[in-house]
């Protein structure tokens, strides 16, 4: 079933998570002591709870110097809304609750919006696992761990490589209170998730870091402490 996106075809806001598909790295965008936004690499050891129950799909347009433009519907909707313009790309918008370690003392509840096919495929695989098993795990969400990235090469003579994130479900845990209600949106129309400064900061911090290789998930010792209880 997946997100229902054909990935092979041509008010208040939450702090964001950014994925750089060209490098296979995740960043959270925080405010530093001077009040400026800066990207923090959280790729290594990344663990989170995804709010798939309230995930959205649709169209996004990231415009230089302006707030991103969104037109979204529930991820479980059968059809996408009409494409607002040729500049809008298929996208998924999703809340994530970071583990305390991944959050590093900053806000744990975040939002990620991605139009990169590699990222969409990675999250879609995790979504399908959640979808297939949610009825057997009422009132619970998956605890996911990034275990590596997979190179995906596309193009003709000028080939390009992006990296698809590989997630593993570590456990099913009680859904946090923040996931009980949908995200608050100022209006059900475009322009409303995060400021352009957040996205500029995330982009500026993604210059050519090494990609993490795909690998098997490390075993979790029986007596290992967990951030999720």
In a domain, 11, yes or no: no
Residue 213's pLDDT is what? 53
In a domain, 135, yes or no: yes
Local confidence band at 129 (pLDDT 50, 70, 90 cut-offs): very high
Q: How many structural domains comprise the chain?
A: 1
In a domain, 200, yes or no: yes
In a domain, 181, yes or no: yes
3-state secondary structure the chain: CCCCCCCCCCCCCCCEEEEECCCCEEEEEEECCCCCEEEEECCCCCEEEECHHHCEEEEEECCCCCCCEEEEEECCCCCCCCCCCCCCEEEEEEEEEECHHHHCCCCCEEEEEECCHHHHHHHHHHHHHHHHHHHHCCCEEEEEEEEEEEEEEECCCCCEEEEEEEEEEEEEEECCHHHCCCCCCCCCCCCCCCCHHHHHHHHHCCCCCCCCECCCCCCCCCCCCCCCC
- Structural domain that includes position 27: 16-204
In a domain, 176, yes or no: yes
In a domain, 32, yes or no: yes
Q: Mean pLDDT, to the nearest integer, of 23-28?
A: 97
In a domain, 160, yes or no: yes
Task: Dump pLDDT digits (tens) for 90-123.
Answer: 999 999 999 999 999 999 999 999 999 999 999 9
């Amino acid at each position: 079933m997946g997100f229902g996106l054909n990935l092979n075809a041509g008010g208040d806001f939450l702090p964001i998570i950014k994925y750089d598909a060209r490098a296979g790295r995740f960043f959270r965008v925080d405010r530093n002591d001077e009040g400026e936004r800066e990207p923090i690499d959280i790729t290594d050891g990344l663990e989170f709870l995804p709010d798939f129950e309230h995930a959205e799909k649709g169209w996004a347009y990231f415009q230089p110097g302006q707030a991103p433009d969104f037109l979204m519907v529930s991820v479980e909707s059968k059809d996408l809304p009409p494409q607002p313009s040729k500049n809008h790309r298929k996208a998924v918008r999703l809340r994530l609750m970071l583990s305390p370690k991944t959050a590093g003392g900053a806000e744990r509840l975040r939002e990620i919006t991605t139009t990169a096919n590699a990222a969409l495929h990675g999250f879609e695989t995790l979504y399908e696992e959640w979808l297939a098993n949610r009825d057997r795990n009422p009132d619970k969400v998956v605890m996911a761990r990034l275990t590596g990235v997979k190179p995906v090469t596309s193009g003709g003579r000028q080939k390009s490589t992006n990296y698809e994130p590989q997630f593993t479900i570590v456990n099913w845990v009680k859904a946090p209170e923040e996931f009980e209600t949908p995200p608050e949106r100022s209006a059900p129309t475009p322009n409303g998730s995060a400021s352009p400064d957040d996205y500029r900061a995330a982009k500026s911090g993604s210059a050519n870091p090494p990609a993490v290789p795909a690998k098997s998930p490390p075993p979790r010792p029986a007596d290992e402490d967990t951030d999720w209880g």
